[in-house]
Structure 1
Amino acid sequence: MDQLLNPSMLVLARDSRELTQSKLAGLMTVRTDGSPPVTQGYVSKAESGAVAVTGERLALFADVLGYPEELLVLPGDVYGFGTACIHHRKRQSLSAPAVRRVHAYLNLARIQMRRLLVSTGVQPANAYFRFPLSAVDTARDAAAEVRRRWGVPDGPVESVVALLEAAGGVVVPRETPSRAWDAVSQWPEGEAPVFLLNAATPTDRQRFTLAHELGHMICHPHPVPEQEQQADEFAAEFLMPASQILDEMSSGLNIEQLGQLKQRWKVSMAALVRRAHDLAVISDWRYRSLNVELSSLGYRTDEPGPLKPEKPGLPSRAFRAWITQQGAGVDDLAARTLLTAAEFHEVFQSAGLEDQLVRDDCHHEGVERD
């Protein structure tokens, strides 16, 4: 029986290439020498499930989109904007097509890593939980509860990425030309939480962003109007617990002290200024003057004292385990992640997730066994 295209996967693949239906139809027409032409209406019907796509037409979609047919026929759901299980931290300048592309990257990362993790057994058990907010139970309470349940020691969180992975989450950085988005995350029912992180952003922003996304996962199974503020409150308490950082701040907080606190707590100077104000350590006037000083020094866009990057370990462990268990090569690994070998390197090596074992495999047919 011929394989049948999954309309949801077609939309995902098209969005990931940031193509309109008309543009995709035009590219397909060129590949078939224009006889007969592929129309935008046909692509629309294929994406809605109004026409069944198999055989040569399925192969044409796969060829033009640059994905294996296996991705386009994969069963399952794709989660996009407005669904309860997806959250994102972005700026207003990010266009709607770019948002769809980032969401497509997130869904791809979830699908790709699930295919590897289920078969390799390297992923820790899922320790994520829900903490519904109320007038009594606040986002700060939720952050404290996560630190307690996950056994986070007092003081700064050593590595947010490592903590999320140890609790059973998946963190995947992705290189993109735009800095207008920071991260997107999703926690579909019955699956592991997934965080897609913009690899172009600085470490201090990545840490706060991941804590913000964790706040969404823990506190917001359903969207609420105040969720962004609540997620920021969660992140601030998670990374800078009030009871632990208060003694290190003073009403005379200055730029030099902010630089020292940044290195200790591994958050941005701007986040520290905001935290000091929220905790009533500094006055409204001092808060405004510090922000003006940060801006005049250019620290709003480029803070001094960059922090050491936090790189996920789970994807690399999954790559190693799959290659070793299967006795396969990097081309097979790329196929397992539903990518061509070239795109596998582009997606994972550029983000620093492709470790030496995988790189070496480019030059050898197999992997040496211990």
Structure 2
Amino acid sequence: MFNAERLKIARQRRKLSGKKLADLAGITPVTVSKIENGHQPESYVVERLSNALRYPREFFFLVSPDVLDADTVSFRSLKKMGAAERDASLAAGSLGIALYDWIDARFNLPRPDLIDLSKERTRPESAARLLRQHWSLGERPIGNVLKLLESKGVRILSLSENTSNVDAYSFWRNDRPYIFLNQEKTAERSVFDSAHELAHLVLHHHAGAKSDRDAESQADQFASAFLMPEADVLNAAAHISTANQIVAKKSRWKVSAMALAYRLHKLDVLSDWNHRSICIELGKMGYRSGEPLGIDRETSTVLAKVLTVLWGKRLTKRDIARDLAVPLEEIETLIFGLTDPAPIPARGGSLSLANK
């Protein structure tokens, strides 16, 4: 039976309105509307829709996918985001869930090890300290944030939406936490986004960011404290008073120059006047819109290991795409553009082939 929800997902991934899809497929907008409302299309119509959307025909006849509700997803830039951008990102989330269901059926992945502070009204800085304590991180900088989160059971996938309006988002599904990161951002911004979304998972849990008008501010405060713990910042950067010093030191915590300046201001290392002056100078140096001296981008360790193990079994990304009946480009978009075989050796750790 043709699945209307899958037609919506494919249309949303292509950022097409019903009318535009109808034009591309050579059918009427009324026909598209009827199909999305459950009317079973004729075979030639299915073929036209498949060709117009560049999705395999089989995709539209699989079981209903997980459909994400925008009210339970922690979009960061909802006010800037158009409906098409929002829907495309949510549709990517549905495909990401399907991808991880495929992986979960074949691999033993780390179990989620987060804390739920959604009912505690815990201050963001205190929440960051509590999670650091829970994970025995102490006050040291985190070497690889994505690797840490994945080791704690967070499913991390990438977005390549070709827009600056989509930063990142997160949600819980079947007690498994997910984070999606837009690769259009700088590497430093992506690290901060991952910590920001971690805050939503810990502080707001299943409620989504809309549950509290201050949720975004809380997540930023959490991310700043989680990435740049107070004791370490004061020990390593209490002497900083210039923009050049910030640029030289920011790589210690893998954050942007502006994020470090803000953290130093909040910790009273920088006065109001000094903070403003440094931000102006950083802006002139190009650090307001980017990171001229940037770090290497983090990527998924789990997905890299999965690809390596699959390569040893003569399986590739194309096999995953075929099993899920999605275009190969959708898989590549979700897995940080990792190649076959992945460069990370699949040995050690808690990732192994399941005996199924």
- With the length of structure 1 as denominator, give the TM-score of the two structures: 0.83
Name stretches of at least 5 consecutive residues in structure 1 with no aligned partner.
30-37, 359-370
Q: Tell me the distance in 2 between the aligned counterparts of 1:23 and 1:315.
A: 35
What do you get for the CA RMSD once the two structures are aligned? Answer: 2.5
Q: Deviations over 1:194-230 (max 9, x none)?
A: 2221222221111101000110111113221110000
CA contact (8 A) 1:78 1:107 kept: yes
Give distance in 1, aligned partners of 2:117 and 2:332. Answer: 38
Letter in 2 for 1:121: F
Gap change, CA 1:205 and 1:144, over 3 Å in 2: same
Is the contact made by 1:126 and 1:168 (CA closer than 8 Å) also made in structure 2?
yes
What are the superposed Cα offsets for residues 222-259 of structure 1, whole Å, 9 maximum, x if unpaired? 22111000000110111011233123333752112202
Q: 1:264 to 1:281 in 2, by over 3 A?
A: same
Distance in 1 (CA, whole Å) between partners of 2:137 and 2:192 is: 16
Distance 1:331-1:309 versus aligned 2 partners, 3 A rule: closer
Q: 162, 166, 170: which one pairs with 2:155?
A: 170
Give, in angstroms, the shift of residue 140 of structure 1: 1.6
Q: Secondary structure at the match of 1:271?
A: helix
Correspondences of 1:154-233 after superposition (within 5 Å): 154-190=139-175, 192-220=176-204, 221-222=206-207, 223-233=211-221
Question: Secondary structure of the equivalent of 1:193?
Answer: strand
Aligned to 2:346: none
- Which of 67, 77, 89 is residue 78 of structure 1 equivalent to? 67
Match of 2:70, SS? coil
Amino acid at match of 1:41: V
Structure-1 residue corresponding to 2:106: 120
- 1:13 and 2:10 equivalent? yes
User: Does the Cα contact within 8 Å between 1:103 and 1:184 map onto a contact in 2?
Assistant: no
SS of the counterpart of 1:196? strand
Residues 307 and 341, structure 2, Cα contact 8 Å, conserved in 1: no
Residue type at the aligned position of 1:193: P
Tell me which amino acid in the other structure corresponds to 1:87.
Answer: S
2:125 match: 140
Q: 2:96 aligns with which of 109, 112, 115?
A: 109
The letter for the 2-side match of 1:188 is R
Cα distance between partner residues in 2 of 1:354 and 1:194: 22
Shift of 1:175: 3.0
Say if 1:345 and 1:46 are closer, same or farther in 2 by CA, change over 3 A: closer
Residue equivalent to 1:234: 222
1:292 partnered with 2:280: yes
Contact 1:236-1:275 at 8 Å conserved across structures: yes
SS of aligned partner of 2:74: strand
The alpha-carbon distance between structure 1 residues 193 and 312, as it changes in their structure 2 partners (threshold 3 A), is same
Distance in 1 of aligned mates of 2:140 and 2:48: 55
Taking the aligned partners of 2:66 and 2:28, their CA distance within structure 1 comes to: 26
Q: Which residue of 2 aligns with 1:304?
A: 292
Distance 1:345 1:216, change over 3 A: closer
Q: Is the 8 A contact 2:128 2:226 kept in 1?
A: yes
Q: Which amino acid aligns with 1:4?
A: F
Corresponding residue of 1:314:
302
Residues in 1 aligned to 2:309 and 2:142: alpha-carbon distance in whole angstroms: 28
1:20-59 matched pairs, under 5 angstroms: 20-29=17-26, 38-49=27-38, 51-53=39-41, 55-59=43-47
Structure 2 matches for 1:359-370, cutoff 5 A? none
CA separation in 2, counterparts of 1:241 and 1:318? 32
Matching residue's letter, 2:304: S
Deviation at 1:269, TM superposition (A): 0.9
CA drift at 1:141: 1.8
| Partner SS for 1:12 | helix
Cα offset for 1:56? 4.7
Which amino acid in structure 2 is aligned with residue 216 of structure 1? H
Query: What is the TM-score normalised by the length of structure 2?
Result: 0.86
- What amino acid sits opposite 2:182 in the alignment? N
Question: What CA distance in whole angstroms lies between the structure 1 residues aligned with 2:263 and 2:342?
Answer: 42
Further displaced range: 90-99 or 197-206: 90-99
- Structure 1: how far apart are the matches of 2:119 and 2:233? 24
The SS at the match of 1:90 is coil
Aligned to 2:354: none
